[in-house]
Amino acid sequence: MTFKLRQLRLRALTEEGWYGANIGFVDGLNVLWADNTMGKSTCIQGMIYVLGLERMLSPRREIPLPHAMTSYLTTDSGKNVRVIESDVALEVENSVGTIVMVERPVISKLDNRLITVRFGPALTQTDGQFRVQHFFVRDPGAAQREDGFHHFLENFLGWELPLVRGYEKDEIKLHLETVFPLFWVEQKSGWSSIPAAIPTYFRIKEVHKRAVEFIAGLEAYHIERKREQLNQRQNVLIGNWELRWQDLSQHLARSGARIEALSQKPIVDPESIANGFMSVATAAGWVSFDDHIKTLREALSEMSEAAVPTVADNVPEIEAKLSEVMARVEELNLKRLSISGIAQVKVADADALRRRIQTLKEDLAKNQDVQKLQRFSGIQWSLSPDRCPTCEQALQDTLLSQNALSAIMPIEDNISYIKSELRMFEDILSRENEGTREREGHLSQLNRDLSEAYSQIRTLRADLVSPATSVSAPRSRNVF
């Protein structure tokens, strides 16, 4: 978690030329000493600004630097000169010895949400050649996306900012702006407290406590995370209970039954759960399953005593019925095999569509980030056969003809094309899902019909090999 400052540069181009300061840092304690209004606070605020952390000072989108960097500066002779262009650069080193220079414009034709990173000691070795990459800050995705600077900075520092509880969301990431105030002493408005005010507009619960726990590595944070996980597990169990209750209720409703004395919400009283039962609608009203089964058994006992035809009386009818049912089974099996084969192919198609949609979403986000960086920098990048358009690394080999690059679409057209493809594939997937639901319903109906048909076949075959005096199945079914 070590973060070492190596050198700071503030510079401003005025009508009379360049003005600025280069401040080097050494290992250990560094002291900036100067008279009032000589720029000590400007240096500290410049470091905050170049790292895109100005929202720890204020949620407003204003540059936290004085007029010497934004409008005019006063020379040693007391003359005020207008600032034409200005920027801040900071060279830093992480715990594994990686050095980068971070540069951000203040007054410039470039958008001040653009941050340029040079991978090397570009301030202390001005003649070096280093890889350059652009990032954006203060826009949505800056802490999560690949081209967001705070995402880069978090990885550069070796941090893994935790998910904590928020007011509007169950989980929200602890932002860098809530952690860095612990390293910054604000004295311009007095010494009432050591750390600067930690931002609360991120809507994080107990944000000061969460930031301290993260920096100190306290066990309390892990306990809080465990509590959150238990709450999430509880919510999952509640959801499962309600889902099972709904499924059972719908299944019973199709048979004219319902759940009684059992809450739709989960309860922790075993006695109340044991009192739950199911009831069924009858001519006499709603009765419990136990009472209904008792009534059916009594009716069955009475039917069993009634006279029924024997097998000998119904052999031709049984044989004809058996042939009819077997033909029906063959027809149903052919339909089921056909639908099952189609379903397997469609499942594979749907999986391929989901992968394609996910790839398109990732491509769209990357292209939008590139468009944002182009807009911030004011440069319309062109593709080169031997350079990466994002990180500008050299590309040594390619399997494509270099002439093919001349017809590449502009970034705006590429984004529009990806969006149209995304809409098309999402529409196709929607239709595929609807077809899948229809096939599943058809298969369920076929399976029920087959189950009933096989049951009839077993009964009819049993009749044909039964003694002639046995009860005839077709007639007995009519009786029951």
Predicted pLDDT at 385: 56
The first and second tokens of residue 316, run together, are 């031709």
Highest mean pLDDT among 97-111, 269-283, 431-445: 97-111
| Confidence band of 478 (pLDDT split at 50, 70, 90) | very low
At 479 the pLDDT is 36
Alpha carbon separation from 350 to 85, 338, 355, 418, 442 (Å, rounded): 54, 18, 9, 19, 19
pLDDT-derived band at 480 (thresholds 50, 70, 90) equals very low
Per-residue DSSP letter, 104: E
Q: Is 117 exposed, middle or buried (0-12, 13-18, 19+ CB in 10 A)?
A: buried
In 3D space, the residue among 451, 243, 472, 422 whose CA is nearest the CA of residue 328 turns out to be 451
Tokens of 400: 């494509």
pLDDT in tens, 309-357: 565 666 777 788 888 889 989 998 998 899 889 989 999 999 999 999 9
pLDDT at 475: 47
Residue 106's CB is within 10 A of a number of other CB atoms, namely 21
Q: Which has the closest alpha carbon to 248: 277, 284, 283, 291?
A: 277
- Mean pLDDT across 274-299: 83
Tell me which residue of 148, 138, 131, 88 sits closest to 113, measured CA to CA.
138
Instruction: Please state, in angstroms and rounded to a whole number, the distance separating the CA atoms of residues 230 and 211.
Output: 22
Please report how the helices 411-464 and 315-377 are oriented relative to each other, as an axis angle in degrees rounded to 10. Answer: 170
Strand 257-260 versus strand 277-282 pairing type: antiparallel
Determine if the pTM surpasses 0.85.
Answer: no
Q: What is the CATH architecture of 3-160? A: 3-Layer(aba) Sandwich (3.40)
Note whether 475 and 318 are within 8 A (CB).
Answer: no
- The tens digit of pLDDT for each residue in 52-64 reads 998 888 777 788 8
Domain chopping of the chain, boundaries: 3-160, 236-305, 322-382+397-479
Dig out the tokens for 84 from the structure.
Answer: 């034409």
> pLDDT > 90: what percent of the chain?
35
User: Residue 20: pLDDT band by 50, 70, 90 thresholds?
Assistant: very high
Stronger pLDDT, 385 or 122, i.e. the higher one? 122
Region of residue 39 (left: phi > 0; alpha: psi -120 to 50; beta: else): left
Looking at domain 322-382+397-479, does it have CATH number 1.20.58?
Answer: no
Computed over every residue of the chain, the mean pLDDT equals: 83
